Structure 1
Amino acid sequence: MKPLNILLNPVGSAGDVHPFVGLAAALKARGHEVRILTNEYFRPLAEKMGLEFVPLGSREEFETVLRDPNAWHPRKALDVIFKAVIEKLLPQTVETLSRLHQKGRTVVVASTLALGARVAQEAFSIPTVSVHLAPGIFRSSYEVPVFDGLGFMRWLPRFANDLVWRLIDAAFVDPSTAPAINRYRATLGLKPVKRILHHWWHSPLRVLGLFPAWFGPPQPDWPAQTLLTGFPMFDERDVHAPDPALEAFMAEGDKPFVFTPGSAMLQGQKFFAAAAEACRMLKRRGILLTRFEEQIPRELPPGVRHFAYVPLSRLLSRCAAMVYHGGIGTCAQTLAAGVPHLVMPMAHDQHDNAARLARLGVGDSLAPGKFTADHLARKLKALVENRDMPGRCWEIARRMEQERPLERSCEIIEQCAGDLAPAH
């Protein structure tokens, strides 16, 4: 086929951007013209991968969100994230996409929070594929995603869940999102929209779920235009040389535990303090991963080391367990490595991911309020003593080796070229 002009627009942290960088590299290898449109913070990664980069938002704006502790609050995170996305990015995204659009050649590939791409799709008839990285993004009244405070919905009949979703939208979601979106839409001659997170943020042309059906089975009330392809296993392995200090540490003793609260977490002091102390209590080795060294205890027990960044695909298969926040990117890498999970879910899709891992029998979770050294040590001891879990982890890792998510995702995106999405 003729080369396409593909514009990838991920919005979020490294866990949101990494899959799009991997997808962009795969599309470029198939001969397409590819651009990554995201925050300036990710320019170095895109350029190291040989991808054309278009900045949307400054590094300072990105770091402002990182420093906001409410970005990880189960109920306050929505306001923080959408304020950054809508007020700062919406007009800039729409203007940039309209400028780069080449009629008949362009496909926009937009992440969950790329709301500007949805507005541009309707304003300028740009073929757009919505990409959701985790099943918890899809609202359902059948298998209700697990969110903090909404556990009761799993016991309600479907008609009652439909009503609860409507009440949530009317009372909380739309008041935070719809006014700013609709004010901007009016300047483009577009009609107002509502129930932003229920159906509007899904492209009517095509929705891609970048996770496998065995992790998030499609539900009858998901958008009909949804296709699942699998986890896009990209990290920064190709742009980071092996770290001699890490390799020396790995050779010194038994398999360590790995701990990270996520690439965007700047409030992880208690997490790392508990991790270090739990390793001391268990007399086990540990690796603490964060680019923000100020979160690490000044004195670490013997056998516990801090590293700023290690590509997880290079590390996890040699470790005893992964302790993390439940982000879908880290979740996928841990599944592929075939090691147990211990999740401390805080917000976003993390509670739902943790619940799915528990149902698969490959991990456990520990609430932030109980994330102390004592509780953590007990949970880790139970994980490593579980005789059945290694086999289940191994089976999933082998299954993932047979999947081809990037190839299938590229094929679906190519099929959308020239298709016009119906306007809402």
Structure 2
Amino acid sequence: MWATDVRPQRRSCWSWSRRPCRRPTERRRTELQKHSYLFATCDAGGNLQPELVLAERLRARGHVVRFLGHRSQQRSVRDAGFGFRPYRTAPEWDWNEPDTAPVRDWELKPLQAFAELREKVLFGPASVFAADVLDEIEAEPTDAVAVDSFLFGAMAAVERSGLPSAVLWHTVFSRSDCDTPPDGAGTQPAKSWPGKLRDRAVKGIESRLWNKGLPALNEARGGIGLHPLTSVFEQLDRMDRVLVMTSRWFDFAALTGSPLPDNVAYVGPQLELGPVSSPPHGEVTDPPLVLVSASTCYQGQEQFLDRVVGALGALPVRALVTTGHAVSFSGPTPPNVEVAAWVPHSTVLPDAAVVITHGGHGTIMASLAHGVPAVCLPMGRDQLDNAARLVRSGAGLRLSPKASQRRIAEAVQEVLGDEQMTGAARRLAEAIQREVASDLGSAELEELVAAG
């Protein structure tokens, strides 16, 4: 039933892929016909936007895409012109609202936050997510299913269906059972043997914490007629593809040549790029424009915004502060600072000189795609890992999320005066723009159906 995939160009840990992971070719693309894709997603903040971009690219290639998700996502999906159906029995949540967020991680220590994420999102509701996904597959013709990387129960359902399957991995790649830095720690790849031994010990602890979700996952699998697993990560390995939607020129796992499961494919960030200078970035405006981007969902970022606005008010810059819909800014606004809930970043980044961000993956990718260096104040989640990669790339700085107004102002001035940092951002922009133009995500999903 299971076929091991061997790709000589990649050193592999293992493979459970059901179908050979053949790379798309131009000849095969022309042979592909119109297909129906189901995207099973969930409200997890910045995950929806790259999934919508990928869906739009599939639609532009003649395919049909529909979404199964939380009701909080319905408006965004339908406004983009896609079919949407809410989960029928899976728990509802909305990470934009503090009272309805499944995990109040801004109030918790990291280990407590992960324990709640594991029990309330990743594995605890696996059985009901599996049931809803199987019902949706039965409801309409479906040629392939793409599942958000948070939904292990949905992955099990697609495995049970036998349909071609993909995981949509919407941030940098890290797994506790692979040779990548510890997840969520914001550390650089270890170079010394003591550092490598430390990382292995930490990742061993991480793996045990993840596998506390194994009983719930195996219960979900048993309920739909699948055999139990010995690790939660085996569920990822049983999917045909894991599409990592970040730049391989940014992520440690790709840059260091770490052994990865054979079904993992880097497809580049899924971005809607506006006009981009060539070479990116163009001339800096006078005074320079600073774009501030807070979290898509609530993280208790009010004080972050207060300090950033205060810092920018003391600098000879123009600033646009986008707060996101999760919070509203009520503090004093200096005359050189404009505050808005939301502005399409693609319309602002071509003119920006610096981005200040909490470290969300989408914001960092969009900034670098336009050749704009960033100052990152990570608050948690995947943001520390994103910040570590930003610093390693040479295209930005990382500050404490509690950095003072003075330190934030100093960092902005440092970036504005650092030509090497700007040069690193521009080099990454050229690589990311090539990845975006290649549309590998759509090609991988098309190939799934062709190989099936």
Give me the whole-angstrom Cα distance separating, in 2, the residues matched to 1:283 and 1:298: 20
Structure 2 runs not aligned, ≥5 long: 1-31, 275-284
- The answer to whether the 8 Å contact 2:378/2:387 transfers is yes
Q: What secondary structure does 2:242 align onto?
A: strand
Structure with the higher fraction of residues in helix conformation: 1
Tell me which of 392, 396, 407 is aligned to 2:424.
Answer: 392
Deviation at 1:419, TM superposition (A): 5.7
- Aligned pairs for 1:79-98 (under 5 A) are 79-86=115-122, 89-98=125-134
Pairing 1:223–2:261 present: yes
Pairing 1:78–2:105 present: no
Question: Normalising to structure 1: TM-score of the pair?
Answer: 0.84
Deviation at 1:160, TM superposition (A): 6.7
Q: Which stretch shows the higher mean deviation, 47-56 or 7-16?
A: 7-16
Tell me which of 81, 95, 104 is aligned to 1:50.
Answer: 81
Q: Which residue is equivalent to 1:299? A: 332
> Over residues 286-330 of structure 1, what are the superposed CA-to-partner deviations in whole Å (9 max), with x where a residue is unaligned?
222123485424321221121010111111221221111211111
Deviation at 1:411, TM superposition (A): 1.6
The residue type paired with residue 279 of structure 1 is: L
Q: Which residue is equivalent to 1:119? A: 156
- The answer to whether the 8 Å contact 1:144/1:154 transfers is no
Q: Which stretch shows the higher mean deviation, 385-394 or 43-52?
A: 385-394
Q: Which residue is equivalent to 1:173? A: 210
Give me the whole-angstrom Cα distance separating, in 2, the residues matched to 1:140 and 1:128: 22
Q: What secondary structure does 2:42 align onto?
A: coil
- Aligned pairs for 1:160-309 (under 5 A) are 161-162=199-200, 164-170=202-208, 172-175=209-212, 177-196=213-232, 198-216=233-251, 217-218=253-254, 219-234=257-272, 254-292=287-325, 295-309=328-342
Q: Which stretch shows the higher mean deviation, 402-411 or 341-350?
A: 402-411
Deviation at 1:333, TM superposition (A): 0.5
- The answer to whether the 8 Å contact 1:7/1:36 transfers is yes
Give me the whole-angstrom Cα distance separating, in 2, the residues matched to 1:231 and 1:225: 18
The residue type paired with residue 150 of structure 2 is: L
Tell me which of 354, 357, 378 is aligned to 2:410.
Answer: 378
1:395 to 1:281, Cα distance in 2 relative to 1, 3 A? same
> Over residues 207-235 of structure 1, what are the superposed CA-to-partner deviations in whole Å (9 max), with x where a residue is unaligned?
21122321125344211122212111138
- The answer to whether the 8 Å contact 2:178/2:260 transfers is no
Pairing 1:8–2:39 present: yes
Q: Which residue is equivalent to 1:241? A: none
Give me the whole-angstrom Cα distance separating, in 1, the residues matched to 2:186 and 2:62: 47
Give me the whole-angstrom Cα distance separating, in 1, the residues matched to 2:144 and 2:350: 36
Tell me which of 307, 324, 344 is aligned to 1:311.
Answer: 344
Q: What secondary structure does 1:388 align onto?
A: helix
Question: Normalising to structure 2: TM-score of the pair?
Answer: 0.79
Give me the whole-angstrom Cα distance separating, in 1, the residues matched to 2:224 and 2:113: 29
Deviation at 1:38, TM superposition (A): 1.7
- The answer to whether the 8 Å contact 1:18/1:234 transfers is no
Deviation at 1:17, TM superposition (A): 0.7
Q: Which stretch shows the higher mean deviation, 38-47 or 52-61?
A: 52-61
Tell me which of 18, 31, 39 is aligned to 2:62.
Answer: 31
Q: What secondary structure does 2:342 align onto?
A: coil
Deviation at 1:366, TM superposition (A): 0.5
Deviation at 1:402, TM superposition (A): 2.6
Q: Which stretch shows the higher mean deviation, 179-188 or 310-319?
A: 179-188
Structure 1 runs not aligned, ≥5 long: 238-251
1:355 to 1:286, Cα distance in 2 relative to 1, 3 A? same
- The answer to whether the 8 Å contact 1:144/1:153 transfers is yes
Deviation at 1:109, TM superposition (A): 0.8
Give me the whole-angstrom Cα distance separating, in 1, the residues matched to 2:64 and 2:156: 23
Q: Which stretch shows the higher mean deviation, 397-406 or 211-220?
A: 397-406
- The answer to whether the 8 Å contact 2:291/2:320 transfers is yes
Deviation at 1:188, TM superposition (A): 2.4
> Over residues 353-376 of structure 1, what are the superposed CA-to-partner deviations in whole Å (9 max), with x where a residue is unaligned?
11111121110001223x221211
The residue type paired with residue 425 of structure 2 is: C
Q: Which stretch shows the higher mean deviation, 291-300 or 181-190?
A: 291-300
Give me the whole-angstrom Cα distance separating, in 1, the residues matched to 2:54 and 2:107: 27
The count of corresponding residues between Structure 1 and Structure 2 is 401
Q: Which residue is equivalent to 2:445? A: 413
- The answer to whether the 8 Å contact 1:8/1:108 transfers is yes
- The answer to whether the 8 Å contact 1:209/1:229 transfers is yes
